[in-house]
Structure 1
Amino acid sequence: MALTVRVRPNAASLSFLLLGAALIVIGAMSGGVLGPALVVWGAVFAVLLGYPVAASTLLRVPAVVVGPDGIRLPLMGVRLEWPEIAEVRPGVKMRGRTQTPVLLVVPTDPVATVSQARWWLRWEARNDLASLGAPVVIDDRSLDHTLTEIRSAVSAHAPAR
């Protein structure tokens, strides 16, 4: 049975959604050049940062699916079958001065994997590839399953090599 992982709203995502909504409201009430600029920035915050939460929470689109065929990341737009995955291993991503544990999915063809990613995520995938050696980095800070549970599902479904 496949493991389906969804995004759960956390304080950071809700803060960005509220900031986006506030900028839209303030921009709509303001005049001149500043008003439309605030509306645009508010919409960017709400859409780009709110998209994963809304899609996964309201529309039930999974963030990660680990199954017999491979690993899918529907929100990212990436689908990797087991033969396309070199390894899945734990890693650490620096966020300022804080180390965050992550799960690195290392594809056999990283460039093709980056090109699968949604256009607004390609920059981050390229940066993660350069700094961490993998374009797919799973961070469980806002997921409804832990990295340990995801690794267990990978171990259960990945073919023996």
Structure 2
Amino acid sequence: MNRFVMTDVTKPEGVHHCMGCFGCFVKTPGKCVIPDACQEQGTKMAHCDEFIIVSECVYGGYSPDLKIQLDRILPYLHADFAIVDGEMHHAMRYDNDPMVRVYFYRSDITEREKDTAKRLLERNSKNLGFSKWEVNFYNSCDEALKAAGLGEEALV
């Protein structure tokens, strides 16, 4: 199984924010134009069977460090739009539907934050064309990493 893992525990060095330049649509289709460790995120997404996210739960969403990485998978999508269930979304560039598993951690996640996180993942999955997803909550980062099957060696 080909896993694509994003965590806020160990993040790539020198990662830049998505600039919204749409170069990944027009200049280098399917590949981000920013030359850093996240340049190939769209390609990695296109070839994975399982997409794993481990993030601190911040107000029912991803941590800022994770969100920077997640924004960089925009090249996974096509510049064109399509109507999906009566809503406009980017068309899919690739024919891939990985299982998406999110492992949120923090010792004091409220029920309201859990509900927000579930809705966020549902919407993210729809936007990215994923039909199979699950969200999980843990008290600590170590618990989340263990549940995701990630040890320290997997994060290096």
Sort the TM-score into its range (normalised by shorter chain): under 0.3
Give the structure with the larger helix fraction.
Answer: 1
- Structure 2 length normalisation: TM-score? 0.25
- Structure 1 length normalisation: TM-score? 0.25
